[in-house]
Structure 1
Amino acid sequence: MKTEVKKLDSTKCEINIAITGDQVKNKFEEVFAQVAKEAKVPGFRPGKAPRDVLEKHYASTVHEQVLKELVPDVYNQAIAEEKLDVIELPQITEVKLDRLSLSFKVTVEVTPEIAVKDYKNQIIKYKAVTVSEDEIKRQIDSVKESRQAENLDDKFSRSLGYPSLAELEKVVERQIFISKENQERQRIENELIENISKGLDFKLPQGLVERQTQDMLRQTKIDLAMKGLPREKIEEQEKLLLEGIQPEAKKQVRVYLILSQIAKKENIAIDDHMPRKVMEFLLSEADWRAT
């Protein structure tokens, strides 16, 4: 195999790929053998037509099938050999195939090089989460008002499924604690990523940004529809929705690429769970300080 990689910019590469000889020849023979088993040619029993007759009737079919099978195999082989971290589907052009050679051009988006450093031992200033009696009271009073209850007592608590007011207060305290703990955790994670990201300047792959933007737009439309907004109104607002979504989409892609770079350095698998795994790793390596 012959490959020639041309870097168009920090996120895009052009690859010229060519193979000759047995790999192409053998694929043609393999596909012809498959076609011969099922070929229906007038005057011959199924699977018994001679090669020259098959060539006449099925040459274009075989040609298309060889391309369908060989191009992905050769492309994947080239990507592996060149150690390219491709993040979007390739654009394949200038395909040329004959019985002994195959060549084509591929344009791909790749992960930009990101010089992530100093991501360990980040200082994290955290606040101990507490819940005051006043917070508990305000939450319960809010429920009381929404239900138009007269008294805040065990009877009221039982109407909510709790045996006593004391038990209700414990449950509400726990709910508030979890909510505040989650908020503090999110604040810490955002601050941690922001600190690691400082000074990192790299181009975002446009295809990845576009895919994230469309995913977020689709989810936003679903959310609006679930809230009862008519489809026509949603479509009218699409341009406005995109303007609001695009900055967040870019931010999410930027964070993902930084986390994936850390994952590679720390031998963390790049899968659907990667962002959470990397974040847990960063938190475990941080220098925690109470405030």
Structure 2
Amino acid sequence: MHMKVQIEKLPASKIKLNIEVSSDIVDQYIDKAYIEVSKHLKIPGFRPGHIPKNIVEQKAGSRVIHDEAVRLLIPYAYVEAIGQEKILAIGRPEISVKKFAPNNPAEFEAIVPVVPEVKLGDYKKVKVERKDVNIESLEVEEMLKNLQKRESILKPKEGSIEEGDWAEIDFDGHKKGILLEKLKSRNHPLIVGEKVFMPEFEQNLIGLKAGDEKEFDVQFPPEHFEKDIAGENIHFKIKIHMVQEIKLPELDDEFAKRISGGAEKDLEGLKKDIENALFKQKTHEERNRVEQEVIKQLNNYAEIDIPHILIDDEVKQMKKDLESRLSTQGLKISRYIEYLGKTEEQFDQELREGAKERIKTGLVLNKIAEVENIDVSDQETDEEIKKTRSESEEKLSEEAKKKLQSEEMRRYIKTVLKNRKTLDKLIDYATA
């Protein structure tokens, strides 16, 4: 045997490997070191890489040969050791040299972060009550009103603003006499009474006409998300440019035909469609609620010592994903954190807590899938890829379509499917 390995368990899902490499392997790597060093030497009469050892040592020095041999041997020794002991390592190891000399065994010590051990507990004891899904007639009517608003038209209005009217305004907000850019806008549209603005602000618009100007104060609540105006009295100056009345279409059979693209012939048919859509949505929401409760209880039962490197990597990925989403809205993450009213330290700490839960959930589901012999076939993976592609054919770029066929994406989809299967089984256990 060319290598001896002793393993010692450490906290935080790390292990210490004491690796001993046989003297014959050490001497092989010293020979390789001579060749590598000689490639960088220019000696008259010799080709680089083909210089006698004594001349290489004379020109480069024994220390350089020693360091190069160690540099070459460490990766070999580490990879062989974790392969021999079937260690599931994650991240970079910390390796130190304990002993290295020609014609002698070499000794290395490696501190290695590993996939953490998962102690599940009795996961079949998880219990969640599934709630019945019912659709009330008021919910259907509310959805119908939203569709009606969507089909509304604007009609110029000569009179004063009433609740429910559309208006276009200029406004400037001043704090202690200083204009705040965030509270300044021109030709800003709003529907009075929808409470997009502070209710007190919108109330001050009622009764005004196009061309009117007005000044008034609005007291912002202490809990307002914009910390620099929370609890402050803001003085507004406004000007009304345009007032329009919102005309709603009649809720009749013609409306139903138009809104459904001809799929429904009357209003009752449209109401039934809305009821079915709401039922599907609420069923999905109830499934998500049960799923999250199952996951919460599973994580409470499970014991896992998650290594910091996994948490750090997950936090980086979460930040990267968030920055990507915010960039589509023209926002920077620093501004987003400010909107939340948090410090960067508070935000990062919350991300770390979220990262821990995500990692724990993934490890727990993977372990349960192993215990329950849950797997996903290549055929199931292919069918899911085909389904995803057909559903998003028009939206996907050529690059995205190619990525969908990559091995990395296949592994991701396979993991998603396996987690879905595992959660299906766990929900069956929990709601039985």
- TM-score tier by shorter-chain length is 0.7 to 0.9
Letter in 2 for 1:210: D
Cα distance in structure 2, aligned partners of 1:157 and 1:62? 85
Shift of 1:202: 4.1
2:313 pairs with 1:216: no
- Listed one character per residue, the Cα deviations across residues 160-207 of structure 1 (whole Å, up to 9, x for unaligned) are 682355587677556544433332222222222233344434433222
- Listed one character per residue, the Cα deviations across residues 31-68 of structure 1 (whole Å, up to 9, x for unaligned) are 65677789754333466544444455567776666545
Letter in 1 for 2:149: E
Shift of 1:19: 0.7
Cα distance in structure 2, aligned partners of 1:65 and 1:58? 11
> Scaled by the length of structure 2, what TM-score is found?
0.53
Letter in 2 for 1:77: E
Gapped regions of structure 1 (runs ≥ 5): none
Q: Give secondary structure in 1 for the equivalent of 2:117.
A: coil
2:114 pairs with 1:110: yes
Matches within 5 A, 1:181-260: 181-230=283-332, 233=335, 237-260=343-366
Higher strand share: 2
Cα distance in structure 1, aligned partners of 2:72 and 2:274? 60
Partner of 1:74: 77
> Scaled by the length of structure 1, what TM-score is found?
0.74
Cα distance in structure 2, aligned partners of 1:124 and 1:7? 37
Matches within 5 A, 1:37-56: 41-45=43-47, 48-56=50-58
Partner of 1:283: 424
Partner of 1:141: 145
Partner of 1:13: 15
2:190 pairs with 1:91: no
Cα distance in structure 2, aligned partners of 1:230 and 1:278? 33
- Listed one character per residue, the Cα deviations across residues 58-94 of structure 1 (whole Å, up to 9, x for unaligned) are 6777666654543223213222344444333212234
Distance 1:280 1:64, change over 3 A: farther
Q: Give secondary structure in 1 for the equivalent of 2:9.
A: strand
Percentage of identical aligned residues: 27
Q: CA RMSD in A?
A: 4.1
Cα distance in structure 1, aligned partners of 2:76 and 2:373? 27
Mapped contact 1:155–1:164 kept (Cα < 8 A): no
Higher helix share: 1
Distance 1:84 1:138, change over 3 A: same
Q: Give secondary structure in 1 for the equivalent of 2:18.
A: strand
Distance 1:211 1:230, change over 3 A: closer
Letter in 2 for 1:211: D
Distance 1:195 1:234, change over 3 A: closer
- Listed one character per residue, the Cα deviations across residues 244-284 of structure 1 (whole Å, up to 9, x for unaligned) are 32322222222223223324434567x64446514513523
Letter in 2 for 1:139: M
**Higher Cα Rg: structure 1 or 2?**
2
Q: Give secondary structure in 2 for the equivalent of 1:284.
A: helix
Cα distance in structure 2, aligned partners of 1:177 and 1:41? 83
Mapped contact 2:374–2:421 kept (Cα < 8 A): no
Distance 1:264 1:287, change over 3 A: closer
Distance 1:147 1:69, change over 3 A: farther
Q: How many pairs are equivalent?
A: 290
Mapped contact 2:88–2:114 kept (Cα < 8 A): yes
Letter in 2 for 1:26: Q
| Structure of greater relative contact order (alpha carbons < 8 Å, 6+ residues apart) | 1
Mapped contact 1:124–1:287 kept (Cα < 8 A): no
Mapped contact 1:136–1:172 kept (Cα < 8 A): yes
Mapped contact 2:20–2:107 kept (Cα < 8 A): yes
Matches within 5 A, 1:253-268: 253-266=359-372
Q: Give secondary structure in 1 for the equivalent of 2:96.
A: strand
